[in-house]
Amino acid sequence: TRRSDYQTVYLDETGFDTCLSRPYGRCPKGQVLKAKISGKAYRRISLVAAQIGNKLVAPMTYPHTMTAALFEAWFERCLLPALDRKSVIILDNAR
């Protein structure tokens, strides 16, 4: 079987905060920067998805940290049904 017979699937997980404030700022030399920052607690949103070519496949967002159980459920219920039978899956941080 040739490598070209297989569909290459890349997958990764990332997270981001809903807070868009910056912890640092700039001002002219000799002046003190003063700014207000909200004390509100912000949510962290995580995303797991796969990519085939330019297409995003089986994206899922969730409001907490990835666990093995969550990854396995997403992999089996969301990702695998979306793939061709002949696929090579490359995971981020795979060793």
Structure-block tokens of residue 34: 């003063």
Q: What is the distance between the alpha carbons of residues 66 and 92, in angstroms, rounded to a whole number?
A: 14
Neighbours of 8 (CB within 10 A): 13
User: pLDDT tens digits, the chain, 95 residues: what are they?
Assistant: 566 789 999 999 999 888 777 778 889 999 998 887 777 777 889 999 999 999 999 999 999 888 999 999 999 999 999 998 899 999 987 65
**Model pLDDT, residue 11:** 95
Pairing relationship of beta strands 55-62 and 87-91 according to DSSP bridges: unpaired
Domains in the chain, please, with CATH? 3-91 (3.30.420.10)
